[in-house]
Structures are given as C-alpha cells and as structure tokens.
Structure 1
Amino acid sequence: MSATKQPHAPALLVILAFTTVYIVWGSTYFFIQQAVHHIPPFLMGSIRFLTAGILMLGWSILRKERVFVWRHILTAAITGLLLLFIGNGLVIWVEQFLPSAMVAIMVSSAPVWFVLLDRPKWQENIKSKSTITGLISGFAGVILLFWDQVRDSFQSSADDNKLLNLFLLLIASVAWSGGSLYSKYNSKAGSAMTNTSWQMIAAGIAFIPGCITTGELKNMKWETVPAEGWLALIYLILMGSIAAFSAYVWLLQVRPATQVSTYAYVNPVIAVLLGVFFANETVSGLQVIGLVVILGSVLLINLNNYRKKRADRQVAASIE
C-alpha cells in the first residue's frame, strides 16, 4: 500500500456522510440487540447484508455501471469479509452475551488500530501529538461514558466465556480497521456503490455456512418473530447498511483514515443521547465528563488534518 493524495470531495457531502455514520451507527447497538433477540445471529447477518447488497447492486445495474469486473469483485469481497463478516459478524455474535456498553468500549479501540495498521501514514500520525492525544483521550472518554456498566460487569463473576467474548471483540476491531484500510488503498477502481454492493454480498454469503452448521436455518420459526424484530432488521438493512455503510466506504476514499475512525468514539455518545431523549434514561456527572472528553478527542484528531490543509493552502498560495 502506498500513500496517495485524498480525492477532493464537496464539503457538504463530507459533512452529510459523517453525520449519517455518526448518528445511524450510534443507534445500531440497540437495533442489533433487538434483532438478535428474535433472529439468530448468522441468519440475521446473512439476510441483512445479502438484502442490502442485492438492492444496491440492482440499482448499480439500472444506472448501467460496470458491475461484473472480476478484479473489482475480488477486492470488494476481501474487504467485505474483513469488515462485515469478521468485524461486524463478531459484534453481532457477542451482543448475545455481553451488555452493549462493553461492546461499545471494545469497538471504540478501532481508531488505535487504524493508526497502528496504517503503515503509509505512520510517520504523519505518530508524529502528530494532537492525533495521538486524541486517540488516547477518546478511548478514555468511552470508558468514562460506560463506567457504571463496566464496574457492574466486572463485579459479577468473570467467567471464561466473558473473557472469550472480549477477545473476539478485539479481533473484530482489528479486522474492521484492517478491512477499512484495505478498502481505502485498494478500492480505487469502480464506483463506490458497486464496490459496497459486492462487499455486502460477499459477507452475506459468508454467513450462510454458519446458518447451516449451527442449525439456525433449520430450526428457525419465522412465524414467531414479532414486529419489532422485523422492524429492527429493516432498519439495519436500510439505514445501517445501505445508508451508513455506503457513506463510510465513501469517506474512506476522500478523508484521512484517522478522521473517519472518529465514528467509533462518537457512536457511543449518540447511543447514550438517544437513550436520554427516547428511553427516559438519565446521565450521570461522570458520563457528562466522558461526553466532553470524547468530543474534545474528536477535535484533537481533526486538528492535525486542519493544520495540514492550512499548510497546503499556504504552500499553494506561495507558489502562485
């Protein structure tokens, strides 16, 4: 992988994409848990990603895009397996056993892995005090945000199953970060929509063996799934996959990976705020501190990118 210059993108589209990823993915913790309560995890993942991928591929075909280019499909499939099958799939599986607070904290380690795995940007990122400080403080802020739940969780019996699930979440974060960077540096050809479609289709197919070997498909009683289970799945397909994931893949192409990775810090904030506004949940003083720390960390991470853009403009102006 070699470092390349970021393509130019309209500021309004970038803001809209970030807003979609921040808000929609902040709500998916709740909807994933709602869905897996009624639809087994492998089956839910397969339906979600196959449906979203086929819908998007159909739209690409209607737009007369080149969708059956083997080398593009292969790159997209590798990305989809890392991001959606391993990264998101492990999160879906673990949400059966761990509280969403623990899942959110472990998933929020992704920005750290972005920096460690993004070799072309090592010199730029590691030398940036604002980026490193932002990454560390952001993770600390997420821990403060869910401190009460973490404390209660560790006060209960710490069995091997819990430790295994935490380890699986660590693998999920590494796979998600690695897949994101692979997509950033290798998905240059083909439209973003077509590439995203094949990523989802590959992940959806990868879930099928799990559906069969675990007996999920054979034992599934579709008539027992309540309306809230179907609504949660529809939300994950339309908003979590088609809208937010497409925005995320596009952002990886037009913005620095460290900046895009801030979703992992903002999503838990959105999840807490949604609980306050729509579920009558309360926020403690410690959580308020966590919210402030997280927002400050996002500003710090973006500060380095702002300075770099300002320096580039000054260089361009001096040349002119």
Structure 2
Amino acid sequence: MAGNYPIGPLIMQTFSTAAVPRWRFVGALAIVYVVWGTTYYALGVAMRTLPPVLMNGVRFLVAGAVMLMWAQWRGQAWPTRREWWGCALIGTLMAFAAMALVVLAQRLGIGSGLMATVVTTMPMWLALWTRLGGERVPATSWAGLVLGAAGAALLALEGDFGATPLGALCAFAAPLCWSLGSYASRRVALPAPAMAAGAQWLIGGAVGLAVAWSVEPGARTVDVSAVSAASWWAWGYLVVMGTLVTLNCYLWLLQHTSVALAGSYSFVNPLVALAVGVGLGGERLTGWVFVAMPLILAGLALIAYGPALLAWGRRGWLPVRGRLQPAGASGSSAP
C-alpha cells in the first residue's frame, strides 16, 4: 500500500517532460512496479526473528525521520500545528493501523502474494467513503465496486483464509484503514508532499512503537543478537527501498507524468507479489486467486480510470452505417 487511488476523472495529460530523459521514467516506473510488489515478501522475512508490530513501527520511525530531514534540506516548510494534526490522523491510520494489520495477517498465515491481492480492494472502500462524504461517484466506479466485491468474495475462498480466520480479518481490515487514511488526506490540511510523508511516517511509527512496547509479546525483550541476518537485510530493504526510494520515485512520477501512469503500479504489484511469494517463498495457491484477481483488477480499472476509458471509447469509435468503425475511417475501400 503506497498512495491514494483517484476517484472520478483522471488527469490524463502529461506534464511538460521535454527536458527529462525517457530512461528516468522507465527507471522510476520499474522501481515502483517491482519494489512495492516485493515488500510483502520482505515483510515475511523480517518477521521471522523480529516482532511484527515493533519491526513495522521502527521502520516507519526511521524512514520518517530521514524523510523529514530530506524535506527540510529541500527547503520545505515545517508543518503548522493544524498540519501536524492532519499528519497524525493519516499516519495513525496508514503507517500504523493499516501496515500493522498487514504484518499481523502475514504472521497469522496469510501468504505475501495473497496479501498484496487483498490490498487492491482498497479503492472499493475509498469510493464508498467518497460517496458517504457527499461527493459524486461515477457510475463506472459503482460497476467497479460490484466487480471488486465479487472478486473479494471469491478471494475469501482461498485456502489461507479458511485456515486462519483471524488472519483473514486482519487482511481485509488493512485496506479499509488505508482507505480511511487516503480519504482523510483529501480533507485535512497537509504540508508539502515530502514533508507530509515524513511527518505521517514518523507519527505512525511512534504509535506503532508505543503499541508494540505496551502489548506485543516479546517486543520489550528482543535479543538483537538473535535476530537473523536475513531479517536485518529485509528490514533494511523495507526502510531504504520499500519506503524512502520508492515513495520518492512515486512522488517524482506524480510531478512529471500523468496520474494514470503513476498509479498504474496498483495493477502490477499484486502480480509481482504473487510471483515472488510462489517462487521464493514456496507459497501455494488453491486457484481461487486466479479467478478473483481479474475481477478485482477489472474493478480497480473501472474505479480509477472508468470516466477516462469511456471518453476514450467515445472518441475512438463512431457509429457508421449501423456498425462501429474507428474514428477517422472513411468507410470506403482504398483505391
């Protein structure tokens, strides 16, 4: 989980990019596609010898501190008191609650690839909060909600969910919390993006650390010498690549290309996560995920890109003599 999913018409035009080399776009997209798809497996490795909530809290605490220093070095203003409160709300919902539920679901037996697939149901919740908040939701989004809900229902038949009901509950609650945080980010005052991200991570990490210290078994008595090298490497990967590098690539893409292209990671990440989970983690799938995923991804496409797709369809096809023909075609044979 890494950013907000737009509801309604998307900004399809590209920003001025004449001076930006193409390889930078390709590199940034590749990082967002691959790295965010591998973080679920990395979470599983890190949790082998680290308490999950503590591990996650320290991850965001460290990343948030680094991001705040970087934002200040870039000249971004510190958050005002009102903006700190907004960052606290979002950070608690997203960096703490949503991510803590993800790691707990995986600790309780939900596979990393399956967890990544569940996370793609987040736009369904976001569309619902948008409508309840009084905003108009396009008909294509409601169609996407129906498809996504059907996919989620089928996904619940996957073997891991039946074996670990509590893990399934955590898995489906995670995108719900993430969607609440995403919706709140549109309603509260926030500083510049990098400063906002740093403040949210710092606060979410601090909340996670406090909760882990208070209630998580083993959090107070972690033997650092007993933590495996693999867990340390995975945790470092999550901090550096999964949080700092990839989030900044995503922010850069938002500034230099279309929202649609930047947000296309949400279609690729589950496929990467499933491939990594099966290939490296030895995870086994019973088959329902392959029925559910196309429905969820189709729903996601309608929610995120529905109006733009309809507009493209209207421009691209015109009724000619009772049948559909591509716009611009003459209707007569070439000489």
**1:192/1:246 contact within 8 Å kept:** no
Answering whether residue 52 of structure 2 is matched by residue 49 of structure 1, we say: no
Judged with a 3 Å threshold, the aligned counterparts in structure 2 of structure 1 residues 85 and 285 are, in CA distance, closer, same or farther, namely closer
Structure with larger Rg: 2
Answering whether residue 7 of structure 2 is matched by residue 10 of structure 1, we say: no
Answering whether residue 184 of structure 2 is matched by residue 182 of structure 1, we say: yes
Question: Hey, what does 1:151 align to over in structure 2?
Answer: 159
3-state SS in 1 of match to 2:49: coil
* Inter-partner Cα distance in structure 2 for 1:132 and 1:23: 30
Answering whether residue 229 of structure 2 is matched by residue 227 of structure 1, we say: yes
Question: Hey, what does 1:123 align to over in structure 2?
Answer: 136
1:297, distance to aligned residue in structure 2 (A): 4.6
Alignment root-mean-square deviation, CA: 4.1
1:58, distance to aligned residue in structure 2 (A): 1.2
Identity of aligned residues (%): 27
**Where does structure 1 lack aligned partners over 5 or more consecutive residues?**
157-161, 313-320
Question: Hey, what does 1:97 align to over in structure 2?
Answer: 108
1:227, distance to aligned residue in structure 2 (A): 1.5
What TM-score, normalized to structure 1? 0.73
Judged with a 3 Å threshold, the aligned counterparts in structure 2 of structure 1 residues 113 and 19 are, in CA distance, closer, same or farther, namely farther
* Inter-partner Cα distance in structure 2 for 1:31 and 1:146: 23
Judged with a 3 Å threshold, the aligned counterparts in structure 2 of structure 1 residues 31 and 139 are, in CA distance, closer, same or farther, namely farther
**1:42/1:216 contact within 8 Å kept:** no
What TM-score, normalized to structure 2? 0.71
Tell me which protein shows more helix as a share of its residues: 1
1:194, distance to aligned residue in structure 2 (A): 0.6
Judged with a 3 Å threshold, the aligned counterparts in structure 2 of structure 1 residues 279 and 67 are, in CA distance, closer, same or farther, namely same
Question: Hey, what does 1:203 align to over in structure 2?
Answer: 204
**1:43/1:216 contact within 8 Å kept:** no
* Inter-partner Cα distance in structure 1 for 2:281 and 2:47: 20
Question: Hey, what does 1:132 align to over in structure 2?
Answer: 142
Judged with a 3 Å threshold, the aligned counterparts in structure 2 of structure 1 residues 283 and 202 are, in CA distance, closer, same or farther, namely closer
**Where does structure 2 lack aligned partners over 5 or more consecutive residues?**
1-6, 18-23, 316-335
* Inter-partner Cα distance in structure 1 for 2:311 and 2:259: 11
**2:122/2:179 contact within 8 Å kept:** yes
Judged with a 3 Å threshold, the aligned counterparts in structure 2 of structure 1 residues 153 and 295 are, in CA distance, closer, same or farther, namely closer
**2:78/2:195 contact within 8 Å kept:** yes
Question: Hey, what does 2:328 align to over in structure 1?
Answer: none
Question: Hey, what does 2:193 align to over in structure 1?
Answer: 192
**2:98/2:178 contact within 8 Å kept:** yes
1:171, distance to aligned residue in structure 2 (A): 3.0
1:163, distance to aligned residue in structure 2 (A): 3.1
Amino acid at match of 2:56: G
* Inter-partner Cα distance in structure 2 for 1:40 and 1:151: 25
- C-alpha deviations, 1:94-147, integer Å up to 9, x for none? 21112225534543321210110113685333x22xx33444445655777896
- C-alpha deviations, 1:57-106, integer Å up to 9, x for none? 11122222212432222211211111111111111122111222553454
Q: 1:38 aligns with which of 29, 49, 68?
A: 49
- C-alpha deviations, 1:14-73, integer Å up to 9, x for none? 987665444322211111111111111122012200111111111122222212432222
3-state SS in 2 of match to 1:89: helix
Question: Hey, what does 2:269 align to over in structure 1?
Answer: 267
Aligned length: 296
Judged with a 3 Å threshold, the aligned counterparts in structure 2 of structure 1 residues 295 and 95 are, in CA distance, closer, same or farther, namely closer
